[in-house]
Amino acid sequence: MPLAKNVMGANISSGKARAINGNNINAAVTAAGTTQGTAASLTADVNVITTATTGQGVILYSGVPGDDQWVFNNTLVDIRVYPHVGAKVNQVATNGAFVLAPQTCSHCKLINSTQWIINLSA
């Protein structure tokens, strides 16, 4: 995606440019629960987890193929990242979570209605 400033150069407002680029950021997400049904819902394009205890989790939103979400675990504990109900991430079983280690990031892309692919940072 182009930088928002470049989109704005085409006479598009900063708010519209941010929406086009998927720059909705939630910089203070608190993980919750220990199951898919009790995990904290992620609604932003970029989600920074700042509060969690071991085993708590977050759940990706149910979008449309091609959507992405970024999840950064800015805590000192492992967290669980769940797909939306009925979906799976990479090779993990349907509705199963993957573990996101402390201080790591995942780029999550929905490739069809039930499959997220996840790219993890080092």
Check which CATH number belongs to the domain holding 84 and give it. Answer: 2.60.120.640
| Total domains in the fold of the chain | 1
**Parent domain of 29:** 25-120
What band does 2 get if pLDDT is binned at 50, 70 and 90? low
How does pLDDT run across 12-64, given as a tens digit for each residue?
Answer: 887 787 777 777 899 999 999 999 999 999 999 999 999 999 999 999 999 89
pLDDT in tens, 59-78: 999 989 999 999 999 999 99
HEC secondary structure over the chain: CCCHHHHHCCCCCHHHHHHHHCCCEEEEEECECCCCCCCEECCCCEEEEEECCCCCEEECCCCCCCCEEEEEECCCCCEEEECCCCCEECCCCCCCCEEECCCEEEEEEEEECCEEEEEECC
Q: Give domain status of residue 101, yes or no.
A: yes
Give the tens place of pLDDT for each residue, 92-111: 999 999 999 999 999 999 99
63 lies in some domain: yes
In a domain, residue 12? The reply is: no
In-domain check, residue 42: yes
The whole-model pTM stands at: 0.87
